[in-house]
Structures are given as C-alpha cells and as structure tokens.
Amino acid sequence: MSLRLRAAVVIAKRRIFESFLNPGYYIAQAVGLLLSYILISGFVSSIDSSGLNYMLHPLYEFIGRLLSGAFGITFLEKLFAEGPFQFVSYVSFVPIFIYLSFSTVFRFSLEKKVGAIELLAYGPVDGTSCFLAFYIKDIILTIFYLLFLILFLIMAALLNNLVLGPAFLYTLVVTFFMAMLLYSISILASVLTDSGASAMVLYIGIILFLLIVIMGSFTIGSAYVRSFSSVLSWLINWFSPFFYWGLALSFLEVGNMLAYFLILLVMMVLSGLFLFLSHQVIKIRGVRP
Amino acid sequence: MKGLLVFFFIFILIGPIVADVPVREEQFIYSIMAFNGRDYSRTFCGENSDTIYLIADQDNFITTSKTLVYYWPITGDWKTDTRSLNYSFEGTLELTEKRRESRIIYPERYTFYNVKGEYEQNWKVAMGDEADKAWQHYQGLIDEYWQATYQYEQAKMAFDLMVDELAMKITEMRNDGIDVTGLVEKLKRLGPPESPKPPDDYIVPPMPVQSAFILNLPRGEYNICFINEDSAVMESSEKRVVVFEKRRADGIGFEVIPGDKWTRPVESKRSSSVLYVNGTTDLYLRPFFQDEYNDLYYQRMIRNDAKGNPSLMNWVYIQQVPGGRIEVTKNNHTSAILVEEPFYVEQTKGSALGYKIVPFDPEGAHKDRDPSLIAFKIPITRETSLIKFELLDNSGLNMAGSSRQVRVIIKSRWQPILLVLCLLPLLVMTVVRMIRSRKYSL
C-alpha cells in the first residue's frame, strides 16, 4: 500500500469514528428508515382486490399523481411493478446521501480554509490523502447504512408478505455506484472552491443541474423542456451519475447483465477520474486557499 | 347606477351558463391511418404538432386536407371538424431521409382488411387494382348475402303463409268434425327456411377503396412536405416522421380481472411483476402476446397529441394467446394445471347491488347466450399467501417471460417492530453519547 493510501485509510478510520460519535449520521439513518416505514405501510394499505390502488392512501394518491403527472403512467407502473422496494430504496437513500456528501463538502472546505489540512500536510499526509479519506469514509458509511436498510426491508417484506423483487438488489448496487460518483463530484467541488459555502453552492448547483437534465428527459409534460433537455443531455450525460444510473437500469430491464456491469465499471472509472482531477487541482492550488 | 348593477349581476350569472365554444382554426392536416401492431389507428397531425410517428416496415396511410381543428378541453385533446370543412388536396409527398436524396411519393388507391385466422392478426393491405379486386370481392359477398336474405325473406313469407293457411284449414276441418291427423302431421313436417349467414371471411371487412400516400419505411427519421399541383410546397406541411420499431417482441402479459371488479382489469406486463392483492376475491387471467415500444412514440402514433415518456419502453397488448394452459403453484407446495373456461357475469339478485362471475352453463341458465368472459380462474383465499403461475404452450412447455407471482397481503401484528427498528439508530446514538459523556465527565 502506498504511503498516501495508508495515510488516507488512517484518516478515514478517524473520520468514521468521529461520524459514529456525532448525532448526524444516526439521525440521517433514522429519517431514511422512517421514510421507508411510512412508504411501506402506505403501500400495504393501498392494496385492494386488483392490486395497487393509489386512491386508497393519501400519501400514495399524492405520489401517484405527482409521478404519473410528471413522468407518465408507464414510469409509475415500472417503479412499482415489483412492489414498493425500488421506490423505497431511492427515497430512504436520500437523507444519508445528503448528510454524507454535504458534510464532506462542508468539512473539507472548512478544514482547508482554516488551515487544518495544511497543518496535516506538514506531516506525512498531503491534500489528496485527506480528500481520499473523506471519500473512503463516505463509502464505508454508505455501505453500513445500505446493509442496515436491506435488513430492515427484508424484515418489512417478511412481516407484510411482500417480496424485495429480482431487480431490487441490482437497483441498490447501481444506487451505491451512483453515490460513489456523486461523492467524488462533491470532493471536486470542495477542492475547486475556497470556502465551505461556495463549495456547497457549487455542489448543490451541479447536482440540481444534473437532476433537472435527467428529469427533463423523462418528463412527459412539455416537448420544449424535453427537447432542450435532450440537447443538454448530449453535452453533459457523459459525466452525469444519473445518466449512468438510468442506463444501467435500462440494461437490467432487458437482461443485458454484461452491459449492466460495464456501466458499473464506467461509473467507477469516472469516479476515479474525478478524484484524479481533484488531485491535480489540489496539487496546483495547494491545500490552503 | 342601478341599471349598471343589474347588468353586472346578469352578466355574472349568465357567464357560467353559457358554455365556452372551442375556437375552431382552419389548418392543413395530415390524416394518418397507422398500423399499431394489432390494428389500424386513426389520428391526425395538425399545425401545432411537428412530428408524425409510424411503426417501421408496415403500411401506413396518409392523406392531406384542410379542415377545422379545435381543442376539446373535456377530453384534453385536439379534434377535427370535418363536417364544416374538409378540403382534400391533389399533389405529391416529398420524403427526405437524413443525408439522402429526397424522393417523391404519389398517392395510391388502397384498402385493408383483416381475414379470419387462428390469430386475430391477419391484416392484409391491397393496393391499386388489387384493392379494387378486394373491394369487389367483398361487395360480391355482401351482394350474395343480400340476395340470399331477399330469397330467405320470400321463402319465409311463403312459409308463414302456408302455415297460416294450413292452420286455418285445420281449424275449419276440426270445427266440422273432420279428422285432421294428416294435416297436423304435414304441419309438423314443415320446416322454416334457413336464414343465410352474413359472410364471415373477414374480421374487419375491406373499406371502400381510397387514395392515400402509403408509407412503409425502415426505422429512421425522415422529413416530409406536401407539394401541391402548382409544384409548390404547401404551407405548414413540413413535418418530421419518426419511424420506430419494437425493442422486444412476443412477451407474455396477463390481463388480470378481479372477481369483484370485472370491468376494471389490470395488466401485468413484466415477468418480474408481482401482483399484490388483498385476497378478497378470485382472479381471472387472460394471457396475451405483447411487443415493447418506446412509450412516447407509440402513444403519439395512436394519438398525435398524446403524452408519453420518451425515455421509457412499454409493453403493448397485441393479441390474446390462443390455447394455452396455466400451471399454478400455491404456497410452493401444490401445483395444478388450469385450462381456459367460459364464465358468465350474473347480476346479483335482491337489493344488494353487484354481480358475481359463475361458470358458463350453455345448456342451462345461460342457454342461447354468449359467455361474458373466457379466462383462467385462480381461486384466491386469505390463507394462500403466495401463488406462482406460468403459461404453458400447447405442447406443455412453459412460455418464456410468462411466470408471475400473486401475493396476498397480510398485515402482521408485529408491525411495531419495524418502527422500533427505524428508531434503533437514535437509540444507538443515545447509548454512544451516554458512554462518551460518562467517559469524559469528572
């Protein structure tokens, strides 16, 4: 193991330990699981003699109207074809993702600004090992959460005679890889800027922009939005985690597993590329703005 | 001032009573008769739409006209008022494929029809003289039928007359005390003439021969414009044509009809689909073949102003699977083979509204009626938590992509465990913080 990687692992361990001592990680987990619980209970209450009836539960009526209005009935049918768990996994992943990536962006930028990283850099570590530590921490904590989420959902499935569905695990894996890619973008955002606030704005801006583009290409509402979004897609799809997420799921749908795993590989490579870019940036700009 | 107030109130009151009349706008339109995989659907592409969607390698018929177009807010779609204005144009269609030379398409005479076969889909398209022949053949059949009907009416009248005369004669003779046995026997032997059957060669008979531009194109994007008799491009006639094809074919879908809502079937289109039910009623299944198309393209082909998702593929019903069987496994233990059965929907007697689906009894209660439903019945009870089924073909082999599962939702009384699990991270957090505070407190 290289010295830089060893340093990154050691710092990551400390960061993970810190996260376990702080309430944020637990609260994000609890919020995610609570959302799962609400969605699963709502789904169970929305079942009648012919299947899922969105009108039976106010939450599902809202979800049904919102999603079918924005993305069409086919989108809704596909999302709930195997049961609630695909949708639940996305929704319950959001709080932990927001907590981890935002805290990374903010903490790293802040530590960079106040000179904490510079202080470390006088020792055996450099800026790259510091941001790598954040990246490793985010990944490890995400894995912890996902494992707990799977256990929770299995329990929920057993108690309600539901089934996780054949695509559930694959979906979760894609979500994890997408998160990896987003974490690397969060690091790039924090090395590109000089303060926590500007890093946060940049990161949120990137995420929102990519989200709007992907949602625009899925929308059924306006042809103008769709065509504008498709033009934008051509330009930015190649580094959009959401695009690869959609692509992997479409390959999964047709059973092309080779292409599915290839997309995961591409996501990993892209994540590595963002980290390499961050490395180059921090090398040029230094660890103190 | 008073008069003004009265006028104002009358205006306010009358406002909602007078219905909004949709504004009709004169537009150049393409009328499209597009093959949708199972039959032909009619739509139009007006000036507010820039693209026509068609399935690849199928005959699609396009005509041009000037008509009135209006938006109908009740159904939320655009409609044409061809009664008020329907002016057809003479001319040609210029079709251009990207990076290729354009070609001119001339209108052709055509008709199409669906002939009887094992499957529902036997669409035939006849063009030019063939179209005339097909139409004449159908007309010949119809003429024959009408002739036979006329002859039948004549024979029936003669028969009725004969029966009346004979009956009258029998009555008179009986009144005179004469033996009528022979005449009664003769009356009994008399059989009514058989009514002719309408021609059943066609499921959908040929339509009268018409003229249209026939587009049968490979997948791709094209541009079209209409060139009138003066060799000028007609205003608003330039459109994009998206020709698409199915991504996957011959998938198996199921129409699932719950016993208590037989008029509201649901479709199970994906092999990974799980059907969750509450177990209060039996399910009736009708398997069908399905093809997978781009959602937006397919919807727009059916109705040019429809909404659809451009990034998703959707399975589309093509035709019912003939002569299959279903293998059902309950709770992973017992398995049984089901065959298609006819059922009849009976209105519930008494004050309670509703109906029940009963097996069709052609000899008894449902004599001279048609079954309401031909389907596979899957009995569902609250005790059967898991039912798996798959479709078998005529030779007993399971058909790919036809397996499904039905799960009866049973809400467990152990639900609070889930809530405790949700709060477990907070519990761990409290413990960790307590340990920390004890460790570092004096």
The answer for B 214-273 residues in CB contact with A (under 8 A) is: 247-248, 256, 258-261, 264-266, 269-270, 272-273
Domain match, B227 and B268 both: no
Domain match, B237 and B199 both: no
Confidence class of residue B367 from pLDDT cuts 50, 70 and 90? Answer: confident
Predicted confidence at residue A237, as pLDDT, reads: 84
Contact between B271 and B389 (Cβ < 8 Å): no
Residue B363 lies in a domain: yes
3-class DSSP state of B1: coil
Confidence class of residue B5 from pLDDT cuts 50, 70 and 90? Answer: low
* Residue numbers in A near B273 (CB within 8 A): 81-82
- SS3 assignment for B350-373: CCCCCEEEEECCCCCCCCCCCCCE
Nearest neighbour of B421 by CB, restricted to A155, A166, A221: A155
Number of independent structural domains in chain B? 3
Q: Across the interface, do A161 and B295 touch by the CB < 8 Å criterion?
A: no
Q: What is the pLDDT of residues B153-162, one digit of tens each?
A: 999 999 999 8
Q: Once rounded to an integer, what is the mean pLDDT over residues B246-268?
A: 89
Q: What is the pLDDT of residues B88-119, one digit of tens each?
A: 999 999 999 877 888 999 999 999 998 866 55
A&B contacts, CB < 8 Å: 139
Residue B9 lies in a domain: no
* Shortest Cα distance, chain B CAs vs residue A23, angstroms: 6
Confidence class of residue B174 from pLDDT cuts 50, 70 and 90? Answer: confident
Q: How many angstroms separate the Cα of B363 from the Cα of each of B156, B348, B360, B367?
A: 28, 21, 9, 5
Q: What is the pLDDT of residues B202-255, one digit of tens each?
A: 888 999 999 999 999 999 999 999 999 888 999 999 999 999 999 998 899 999
3-class DSSP state of B12: helix
Q: Which residue of B has its CA nearest to A92?
A: B422
Q: Across the interface, do B309 and A75 touch by the CB < 8 Å criterion?
A: yes
Predicted confidence at residue B272, as pLDDT, reads: 86
Predicted confidence at residue B351, as pLDDT, reads: 65
Q: What percent of chain B has pLDDT over 90?
A: 52
Q: What is the pLDDT of residues B297-353, one digit of tens each?
A: 999 999 999 989 888 999 999 988 888 899 999 887 778 899 989 999 887 776 666
Residue B296 lies in a domain: yes
* Shortest Cα distance, chain B CAs vs residue A286, angstroms: 36
Q: Across the interface, do A246 and B311 touch by the CB < 8 Å criterion?
A: yes
Domain match, B105 and B170 both: no
Confidence class of residue B183 from pLDDT cuts 50, 70 and 90? Answer: confident
Q: Is it the case that residue B11 has pLDDT exceeding 60?
A: no
- The β-bridge relationship of strands B283-294 and B313-320 is antiparallel
Quote the CA–CA distance of B176 and B181 in Å, as a whole number. Answer: 14
Q: Is it the case that residue B120 has pLDDT exceeding 70?
A: no
Q: Once rounded to an integer, what is the mean pLDDT over residues B258-281?
A: 88
Q: Which residue of A has its CA nearest to B276?
A: A51
Residue B352 lies in a domain: yes
Task: Tell me the H-state helices in chain A.
Answer: 3-21, 23-45, 58-71, 73-79, 85-114, 116-121, 127-160, 168-192, 196-218, 223-236, 241-253, 257-285
Predicted confidence at residue B426, as pLDDT, reads: 95
The answer for B 279-308 residues in CB contact with A (under 8 A) is: 280-281, 295-296, 307-308
Domain match, B182 and B327 both: no
ipTM: 0.88
* Residue numbers in B near A81 (CB within 8 A): 269-270, 272-274
Predicted confidence at residue A113, as pLDDT, reads: 86
Q: What is the pLDDT of residues A188-219, one digit of tens each?
A: 999 999 888 999 999 999 999 999 888 887 87
Nearest neighbour of B428 by CB, restricted to A26, A49, A226: A26
Q: Identify the domain containing residue B44 by its residue range.
A: 20-125+211-244
Predicted confidence at residue B119, as pLDDT, reads: 54
Q: What is the pLDDT of residues A48-62, one digit of tens each?
A: 988 899 999 999 999
Q: Identify the domain containing residue A130 by its residue range.
A: 3-285
* Average pLDDT score over chain B: 88
Nearest neighbour of A21 by CB, restricted to B275, B276, B436: B436
Residue B3 lies in a domain: no
Which residues face B81 on adjacent strands? Answer: B68
Number of independent structural domains in chain A? 1
Residue B4 lies in a domain: no
The count of residues in chain B is 442
Domain match, B170 and B302 both: no
Q: Is it the case that residue A180 has pLDDT exceeding 90?
A: yes
Q: Across the interface, do B418 and A159 touch by the CB < 8 Å criterion?
A: yes
Domain match, B324 and B346 both: yes
